Amino acid sequence: MGSHQPQVVRYLDSDDLVDRVARRLLDALIGYQPDDRVAQICLTGGRIALRLYTRLGELVEDSSLDPSRLELWWGDERFLPTDDPDRNAGPTLAALAGHFALDPSRTHPMPAADGVIDAGASAATYAKELGQTRFDICLLGMGPDGHVASIFPGHPSEEPTSQTVIGVSDSPKPPPERISLTLPTLSRSDQVWFVVSGPDKADAVARAVVGDETLPAGRVHGEQATVWLIDQDAAAQLPYFVCSL
């Protein structure tokens, strides 16, 4: 677990956040790719994330990034059928694939609820696929309650476990069945980037940035860097000196 101080970067609004974080992400991914190296990235869901991926796709077209050397993982997924638009993977892959080709062997969506296997068994399948993978960058959103991926405060999903991936039942947010990486697995990352927008997140941001362990978001840390990329609304309750330009 990183012992560094989290870095906070403020943006004017959600549009500024999406554009500039997409550029930051592109530069970081290019930086992970020298000598034929494959960049390992863990993706998150949500409206801001989907806008971020769409903007990243636009920027990749005129860049030196090699999309075939991107390995894509997911931090969590709603346990729904493959073609359900509420899943994270489908809309994300559609946003990216509109701009560049992804290597299917390096694209790892979580299992869908297409058969009789339950979320717990599907989580075990994903854990085998993930193995000991360490992420270069783990992207995370955060809910107003401080949840990350599908790990919720005061819920069995945040109880300690030796598993790297868990099935989540009775989620406080619909749908009730989900699959999620655990907090230690998310922290098995060189860098963790929280991408957060909106005034409803301001209280949880202020608490999580200082490491409030009652919030799942306060317990995830990158090994080299933990970066909060937030708009002014989400930063409203932070003291202004907690800042990085």
Note the pTM of the prediction, 2 decimals.
0.95
Q: What pLDDT does residue 241 have?
A: 58
DSSP string, 100-152: S---GGGB-PPPPSSSS--HHHHHHHHHHHHTT--EEEEEE---TT--BTTB-
Report the C-alpha dihedral over residues 46, 52, 192, 159, rounded to 10 degrees. 10
- Does residue 7 contact residue 209 with C-beta atoms inside 8 Å? no
| Single-letter amino acid code for the residue at 70 | L
Position of tokens 């998150």? Answer: 44
Q: What pLDDT does residue 179 have?
A: 97
**Domain boundaries along the sequence of the chain:** 24-231
Q: Specify the fold of 24-231.
A: Rossmann fold (3.40.50)
CA gap 125, 59 in Å, rounded:
34
pLDDT along the chain (245 residues), means of 10: 79 98 97 94 96 96 93 96 91 92 95 86 96 98 98 96 96 94 98 98 97 97 98 92 50
Q: Which residues of 127-142 are buried (b: 16+ CB within 10 A; e: fewer)?
A: beebeeeebbbbbbbb
